């Protein structure tokens, strides 16, 4: 329901803009086919049947200069994973105070990662998909404000973005699903670049509430344990299981190199919701590539480690049954994995690229491996 007023406001702005300025329409798309190479295994939404729907998408971006330093932007995206139902991914207004400073309001992308602004535009990066061990937060947009400042610091280009807003939606987090409210999202990200080198750091906080649903084994276990603890009078321990107005934080740091024909990217992130059953998530990736005219070959390593600190265990040693239940729940949300991806990109057209990626996912908890191959054509228009 919250998306409708924003969409209507942007549509009204574009209608008005038609009388004053030309509306620019750009688009991008990805046609992706993939398949898991192991029976009874799934990865990135693929199983052992070939799918051209799971990661394919089409999008249009509309932007209008409303004059007097005011502009409007909207992005409409149709994803194959959502049966190509189109919806507004972005919808915001921007006012430029100066060439260096601007403020935006509406629905925008949260700048978690280096490629956040181009997350859906596959043409802008070399992989079929960005490294999912890092790019794994289950939401990417928020409704609120953004203040962007660009300047020169000596020979360096500096970009600082400060955001504030909220998010409300149903998402999946660490094996559970639920209606999620993120209030008072606030944060900053800072990017510095010089010639062939770029570095960035980001930090965000939010007041986090998740109404966990009983549609997964983990959800049933969490809700059952919380209810049992409350009924037994262990309110503090029950609060440590529930995700209710808890402090969430996200930290990221990374850098990239584009030197001659050598490409290198690395990002490290941490995500934590304090005093909840959600494990602290730490992950990183490193990726090296080599450019040969229209071709790029690349190799990427990803690592993910989700776990609770050891002091979260054995919270009720005097009550063995409940203590075992708490330990089991905390252990149940652990995750540890790594991924190797080898791939290539071929720019066969000024506005289109062909990509092929092979990924091997290793789950260190279950000691299993899953292989996926994907072929994509990314284009901009």
- The domain that contains 174 carries what CATH number? 2.40.160.10
Write down the pLDDT at residue 17: 45
Q: What percent of the chain has pLDDT over 70?
A: 94
* DSSP of 237-295: HHHHHSEEEEEEEEEEEEEEEEETTEEEEEEEEEEEETTSSSPEEEEEEEEEEEEETTE
Write down the pLDDT at residue 289: 98
Compute the average pLDDT of residues 231-235: 95
- C-alpha distances (whole Å) from 94 to each of 8, 16, 122, 170, 232 are 16, 15, 25, 28, 53
Task: Give the model confidence (pLDDT) of 328-366 as tens digits.
Answer: 989 888 999 999 999 999 999 999 999 999 999 999 999
Rounded Cα–Cα distance for residues 266 and 287 (Å): 6
Task: Give the model confidence (pLDDT) of 82-140 as tens digits.
Answer: 999 999 999 999 999 999 999 999 999 999 999 999 999 999 999 999 999 999 998 99
Task: Give the model confidence (pLDDT) of 5-40 as tens digits.
Answer: 444 445 554 554 455 568 999 999 999 999 999 998
Write down the pLDDT at residue 1: 40
Is residue 75 within 8 Å of residue 90, measured between CB atoms? Answer: yes
Residue 321 has pLDDT above 60, yes or no: yes
Question: What's the domain count of the chain?
Answer: 1
Q: Which domain holds residue 8?
A: 3-380
The mean of the pLDDT values for the chain is 93
Rounded Cα–Cα distance for residues 145 and 125 (Å): 27
């Amino acid at each position: 329901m919250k998306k409708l007023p924003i969409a209507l406001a942007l549509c009204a702005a574009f209608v008005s803009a038609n009388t004053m300025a030309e509306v620019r329409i750009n688009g991008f798309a990805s046609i992706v086919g993939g398949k898991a190479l192991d029976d009874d295994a799934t990865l990135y939404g693929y199983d052992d049947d070939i799918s051209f729907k799971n990661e394919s998408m089409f999008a249009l971006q509309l932007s209008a200069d409303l004059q007097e330093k005011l502009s409007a932007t909207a992005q409409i995206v149709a994803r194959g994973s959502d049966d190509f139902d189109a919806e507004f991914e972005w919808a915001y207004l921007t006012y430029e105070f100066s060439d260096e400073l601007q403020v935006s309001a509406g629905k925008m992308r949260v700048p978690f990662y280096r490629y956040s602004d181009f997350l859906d535009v596959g043409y802008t990066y070399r992989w079929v998909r960005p490294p999912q061990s890092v790019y794994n937060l289950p939401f990417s947009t928020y409704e609120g404000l953004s203040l962007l400042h660009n300047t020169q610091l000596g020979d360096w280009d500096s970009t600082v973005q400060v955001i504030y807003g909220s998010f409300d939606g149903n998402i999946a987090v660490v094996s559970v699903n639920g209606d999620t409210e993120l209030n008072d999202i606030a944060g900053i990200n800072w990017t510095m670049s010089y010639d062939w080198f770029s570095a960035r750091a980001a930090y965000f906080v939010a007041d986090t509430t998740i109404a966990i649903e009983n549609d997964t084994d983990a959800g049933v276990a969490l809700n059952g344990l919380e209810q049992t603890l409350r009924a037994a009078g262990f309110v503090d321990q029950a609060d440590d299981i529930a995700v209710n107005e808890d402090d969430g934080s996200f930290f990221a740091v990374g850098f990239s190199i584009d030197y001659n024909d050598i490409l290198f990217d690395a990002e490290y992130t941490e995500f934590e919701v304090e005093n909840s059953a959600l494990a602290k998530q730490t992950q990183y990736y490193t990726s090296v590539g080599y450019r040969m005219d229209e071709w790029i070959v690349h190799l990427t390593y990803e690592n993910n480690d989700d776990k609770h600190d050891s002091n979260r265990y054995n919270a009720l040693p005097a009550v063995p049954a409940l203590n075992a239940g708490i330990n089991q729940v905390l252990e149940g949300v652990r995750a540890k994995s790594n991924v190797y991806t080898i791939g290539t990109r071929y720019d066969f057209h000024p506005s289109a690229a062909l990509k092929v990626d092979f990924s091997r996912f290793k789950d260190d908890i279950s000691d299993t491996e899953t292989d996926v191959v994907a072929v994509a054509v990314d284009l901009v228009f």
